[in-house]
Amino acid sequence: MAETGVRVGLFVTCLVDLFRPSVGFAAVKLLEEAGCSVEAPFAQTCCGQPSYNSGDRQSATRIAEKVIETFADYDYVVVPSGSCAGMIRRHYPGLFAEDAEMRARAEALAAKTYELTSFLVGVRGFTRVKARWRKRVTYHDGCSGLRELGVRDEPRTLLASVEGLALSELSGAETCCGFGGSFAVKYPDISDKMVADKVADIAASGAEAVLCGDLGCLLNIAGKLCRLGRAVEARHVAEVLAGMAEELPPIGAPG
Amino acid sequence: MSEPREEILGAIRRAFKRGALAAEAAGELSRRLAAHPRNPVPQRAAALEEEDRLRLFVAMAEEADARVSQLDSLDAVPAAVAEYLARENLPAEIVMAPDPMLEALPWKREPLLAIRRGRAEAGDAVSLTPAFAAIAETGTLMLISGAETPTSLNFLPDTHIVVVAARQVVASYEEGFDLLRAAAAEKGWPRTVNFVTGPSRTADIEQTIELGAHGPRRLHIILVGEREPAGKK
Amino acid sequence: MLLNSRDFPANAREGLGNPTLQKALSMARTGFPEKRARAIERLPEFESLREKARAIKEATLANLDFYLETYENKVLAAGGKVHWARSASEAREAVLAICRSVGAKTVTKGKSMVAEEVGLNPFLEENGITPIETDLGEYIIQLRREPPSHIIAPAIHLVKEEVAQSFREAHRELPPQRPLSEARQLCDEARAVLRPRFLAADAGITGANFLVAETGSSLIVTNEGNGDLTQLLPRVHIVMASIEKLVPTLEDAATLLRLLARSATGQEFSAYTTLSTGPRREGDEDGPEAYHVVLLDNGRSALLGGEFEDILRCIRCAACLNHCPVYTAVGGHAYGTVYPGPMGAVLSPALFGLEECAHLPNASTFCGRCEAVCPMQIPLPKMMRGWREREFTQKKAPAVARAALRLWAFFALRPGLYHPFARIVARALFAAGARRGRFRSLLFHSGWTAVRDLPAPEGRTFHHLWAKRRKGA
């Protein structure tokens, strides 16, 4: 492993931790290939987004304080999720409007926090991976990564370097899949319509696999693909970039 | 009636934790109103040469489904109107704005054309009006109400023909406003100013665009450009 | 007007299950965004105009009292009258009093969301005055006795067969053999029926897109020309507008106008943009003899200076509706208020109460497309979240949801408890679901598994594996 001066704290995210740790290890592998030394501090849990988006600002603030403290000493914080990275980058500072010192710390963390692919391409200049995967894939842009962080070209740049992989763009790639955290559970009928439309677009793309940078969207999309009995695989983009897609079953497939 | 007024104004002031604006602050806002500074104007409409301005006006108006015919001189307008009516299979009857510029045209050359002057009535098929100005930016006509230019002519007939002189075509809305203010300083502010871009339309049924919803089905612009050297206006 | 926002989930289900509505919405879902995108591509200054427009509106709101008074003075100087209304009922009464003062029996109406907000039509009818909607979409839904489902395209929920049926039922003189299968034929039918009504109306009521303080003018933006006929032909023109419609100058209006049509319909400019200033002048051959403005507050002044002030920048272009995946899935009627979609999810709770409208700010995935397309840069998701926060702190959110959130936060703040617990959950779910790789149903997850499977976890948590890897290293 290349031990360099760049220390990255990996913010694993609660969904990756619980559902698909492989995504976390894929991120570690890519970051190390990009010359970083990676740590995943045990004191992390969740970014606080469930509380924040449900109106429990107080809990969100306390969780944010904890994240700020946990990751204060790293050069960068990298997150394999546009949504959780967006929470830290775009929303943490606003939680401390009344507290100048904490706000400054939140801003410092926000400034060094990146979604995985945008960190690799934008910060590390790492654009060529060593993976190969013979598949026709399509890509769904998670809403937070796309609109809060402006992540769009980076995953495509990296995917273009995967040997054997062909990307066909998804019609409506920028339309929400209907996940939205608790929205999917609170308004299942609406969420269902949205994810059904998404799955129809995926099918129309002719791809064998749909990739995305957010596990939340992927659980939703994979869940609908499974329910409808579609053969399209759903995977986190990091798995493919790290060359793990061959041996790792897709999301929602028997282990 | 004054009670709601005072309460609403009071609620606004309470929201900002202040009373009515101090004379100084109010004076500053009043000065801005009087100066009405321009905000950024899109490049498309900024300082166009006359030829580009006319070209843009025609292109944008036609894109908005207006039809534009260009003449070299005002004297050719009566014949152009008669010819347009014949071509469109419309009766040789128009209701015309009692406007001095239009009155001065050689209508006698079109003896078969029946002309009524005044506002439009139900059943009038074709109107003819002047324009106050025209705006190249979006192919928009600027029409103002007045004794010589009744507004009903702009809306009731199925076909609206508008005579625009090339020198009336300005680049932006802002230039149109300046002309309006200058005219209003003499004749008072008009009751209505209509900015008209193409004929009436609707997309209220299945987003299908249909022309002629309630206003004119056809907007025909006669653009009269005296071929003069630049600078002579 | 508030209808049934409390029933949002049931309304939404009904909308999702209505095939003609879904057909109508599928046309809107692609049509509006594509047209908007094309229009904006042609105006390289669009982003800088957004910045400017926002600044104009912010500066206007900060001095709204000044601009309202200046505007009022200008209206009076032009021979018009201004009526201030604190509430919906005061606005309705003001309109009724004006109508009665001229003995009006029928009034034509241009499209006005403020008139919808205050429930003007039923009130006029109760008082013996017949309101006639003249915007084609509004006319159609008036015949059907439905509220608008969209703020600029009120009949967007209908397909043309439904319109044809409504016309056949309402238009007694319409020969049964006359074809009404095409939009063109339906337009012509409405034009023919409405023309005499325009000419016969005693008063005309329009809304206003902007009120210009500099000149005391109301400004309407339309495509059909119905608003112009409405305000031109009757003896009295009544403008209904809410107080945040003020802009200082014509130049400021121009900046907003460059954004409005492009954001709304994707047009470069609407067919008719009309400034009206007072009644007809001496020597004019047409135009109303009297000009009235009813200025409505209805809860807006209470938003100034607070966390929801930004919604007062809204210029009602409907881009947020057109780009909202929830709106375009369920349609406008599901929201149960006259202001649907993202802007309505922020505004409706302010106008009609959070308790009544609590679903609306919750029914969003925060996908952020509304804010991305808003020409006035209104932070709609942020303000929806603001309503959720009020709901949570005022203990209006469901108790179970509140408890679950608190429990989650409790664990999230205690990694020493969280990680062992996560390990157990991951193992248990893996043991139960690994064979299939997913769950078709799962206790406490019925909302999720009702419509999709839940993929099973890999069995071990990242942090468990990471700790083992570190030990092994």
Give the tens place of pLDDT for each residue, C393-450.
998 888 888 999 999 999 999 999 999 999 999 999 999 887 889 898 876 678 899 9
If pLDDT is split at 50, 70 and 90, which confidence band does C473 have? low
Angle, CA of B141, B142 and B147, to the nearest 5°: 125
Q: Is A206 on the interface with C (CB under 8 A)?
A: no
Domain end marker among C277, C301, C325: C301
Q: Which residues partner with B201 through β-bridges?
A: B211
Q: Which two three-digit tokens encode residue B38? A: 């321009």
Structurally, chain C folds into a number of domains equal to: 2
Average pLDDT over residues C199-218: 98
Do C292 and C415 sit in the same domain of this protein?
no
* Residue C260: closest CA among C303, B155, B215, C252: C252
Contacting subunits of C (3+ beta carbon pairs below 8 A): A, B
- For C364, the closest of A18, A66, A183 (CB atoms) is A183
Q: Say yes or no: C265 contacts chain B, CB-CB below 8 A.
A: yes
CATH superfamily, domain at B49-224: NagB/RpiA/CoA transferase-like (3.40.50.10420)
Per-residue confidence (pLDDT) for residue B227, from 0 to 100:
55
b/e burial code for range B63-84 (CB count within 10 A of at least 16 → b):
ebbbbbeebeebebbbebbbeb
In a domain, C365, yes or no: no
ipTM > 0.90 for the complex: yes
Cβ–Cβ gap B8/C295 under 8 Å: yes
Q: H helices within A72-174, ranges in order?
A: 82-86, 92-95, 100-111, 116-118, 143, 153-159
| Residue B136: CA count within 13 A, CB half-sphere | 25
Neighbours of B87 (CB within 10 A): 8
CA distance linking residue C30 with residue C26, whole number of Å:
7
Judge if C52 and C191 occupy the same domain: yes
List the single best residue of B96, B144, B189, B192 to mutate versus C (max C Cβ within 10 A).
Answer: B192
Yes or no: say if C168 and C186 are a contact pair by the CB < 8 Å rule: no
Residues of chain A short of pLDDT 70, as ranges, are 1-4, 255
- Position C145 confidence tier, pLDDT thresholds 50, 70, 90: very high
Beta bridge partners of C203: C107, C236
CB < 8 Å & 24+ apart, contacts of C432-436: C432/C456, C433/C457, C434/A254, C434/A255, C434/C459, C435/A254, C436/A254
Q: What is the pLDDT of residue B2?
A: 63
Whole-number Å distance between alpha carbons of C359 and B185: 53
- CA-based nearest residue to B14, from C349, A23, C302: C302
* Contacts with C83 from chain B: Cβ below 8 Å: 1
> Is A37 an 8 Å CB contact of chain C?
no
Judge residue A203's burial from the number of C-beta atoms within 10 Å of its C-beta, 0-12 exposed, 13-18 middle, 19 or more buried. Answer: middle
Q: Does B16 touch chain C (CB under 8 A)?
A: yes
Do residue B38 and residue C251 have CB atoms under 8 angstroms apart? Answer: yes
Given an 8 Å threshold on Cβ–Cβ distance, is A45 in contact with C9? no
The span from the CA of C293 to the CA of C109, in Å, is 14
How far is CA B34 from each of CA B38, B144, C244, C261, rounded to the nearest angstrom?
Answer: 12, 22, 21, 27
Mean pLDDT of chain C: 95
State the smallest CA–CA distance between residue C350 and chain A in angstroms: 17
Chain C contact present for A147, CB below 8 A: yes
Q: Do B155 and C153 touch (CB under 8 A)?
A: no
How far apart, in Å, do the first and last CA atoms of chain C sit? 67
Per-position b or e across C250-261, b if 16+ CB within 10 A of its CB: bbbbbbbbbbbb
Rounded Cα distance, A239 and A30, in Å: 10
Reference C456, options A199, A254, A23, A246; nearest CA is A254
For the beta carbon of residue A223, count every other beta carbon within 10 angstroms: 27
Contacts of B45 in chain C (CB under 8 A): none
- Whether the per-residue pLDDT at C75 is higher than 60: the answer is yes
Here the contacts of C308-312 (C-beta below 8 Å, separation 24 or greater) are: C308/C346, C308/C350, C308/C383, C308/C386, C309/C61, C310/C378, C310/C379, C310/C383, C311/C343, C311/C346, C311/C347, C311/C350, C311/C378, C311/C383, C312/C57, C312/C61, C312/C244
Q: What is the pLDDT of residue C412?
A: 96
Please list every residue in chain A whose beta carbon sits closer than 8 Å to the beta carbon of residue C458.
19-22, 255
Arithmetic mean of pLDDT, C172-183: 93
Check CB contact of B63 with chain C, cutoff 8 Å. yes
β-partners of residue A10 are A78
Nearest Cα to C8, choosing from C453, C413, C350, C348? C348
Q: Do chains C and B touch (3 or more CB pairs under 8 A)?
A: yes
**Rounded to an integer, what distance in angstroms lies between the CA atom of residue A166 and that of residue A224?**
24
| Closest CA of chain B from C459, distance in Å | 51
The amino acid at residue C31 is: G
C317 contacts B230 by C-beta, under 8 angstroms: no
End residue of a domain, out of C281, C301, C321: C301
> From CA B162, how far away is CA B80, in angstroms rounded?
12
Write down which residue in C264, C283, C301 finishes a domain. C301
Of A55, A144, A194, the CB nearest to C325: A194
Q: Is C161 helix (H, G, I), strand (E, B) or coil?
A: helix
* C 301-330 residues with CB < 8 A to A: 325-326, 329-330
Residue C192 phi, psi (nearest 5): -65, -40
Q: How far apart are CA C158 and CA C137, in angstroms?
A: 10
Cβ-Cβ contacts under 8 Å, C277 against chain B: 189-192
Using one digit for the tens of pLDDT, what is the confidence trace for C249-272?
A: 999 999 999 999 999 999 999 999
Which tokens sit at C30?
């692609």
DSSP β-bridge partners for residue C200: none
* Chains touching A by CB (3 or more pairs below 8 Å): C
Rounded Cα–Cα distance for residues B147 and B89 (Å)? 31
**Interior CA angle at C263 toward C259 and C268, to 5°?**
65
* C-alpha to C-alpha distances, A224 to A192, A202, A252, B17, C174, nearest whole angstrom: 8, 11, 10, 53, 49
Kindly state whether residues C417 and C290 are assigned to the same domain: no
Selected residue of C74, C82, C140, C249 to mutate for chain B interface (largest B Cβ count, 10 A): C249
As averages over each run of 10 residues, the pLDDT of chain B (233 residues) reads 88 97 97 97 88 95 97 96 96 97 96 97 96 98 98 98 97 97 96 98 92 96 73 35
- Give the strand pairing for B201-202 and A136-140: unpaired
> Which sequence spans correspond to the domains of chain B?
1-36, 49-224
Q: What is the pLDDT of residue A1?
A: 46
DSSP C330-348: H-GGGG-BSS-HHHHHHHH
Q: Two tokens at B78?
A: 């009566």
Are B205 and C186 a contacting pair at CB < 8 A? Answer: yes
Instruction: Enumerate neighbours of B (3 or more CB pairs within 8 A).
Output: C
The domain that contains C231 carries what CATH number? 3.40.50.10420
Burial C167-178 (b: 16+ CB within 10 A, else e): beeebeebeeee
Distance from CA of B65 to the nearest CA of C (A): 10
Q: From CA C57, how far away is CA C76, in angstroms rounded? A: 24
* CA separation for the pair C193, A125 (Å, rounded): 67
Please name the residues between 376 and 405 in chain C that touch chain B, using a CB distance below 8 Å. none
Q: Could C183 and B206 be called an inter-chain contact, meaning their C-beta atoms sit closer than 8 Å?
A: yes
Instruction: State the residue for tokens 């703020």.
Output: C151
Chain C residue nearest residue A49, CA to CA: C409
Cα–Cα distance, C161 to A106 (Å, whole number): 57
Place of tokens 């025209």: B134
Token code pair at residue C293 = 């403005």
Domain that holds residue C428: 411-472
Distances (CA, A) of B176 to B181, C78, C280, C419: 9, 21, 22, 69
pLDDT of residue B226: 66
- Provide mean pLDDT across the span C44-69: 98
Q: Which residue of C has its CA nearest to A17?
A: C462
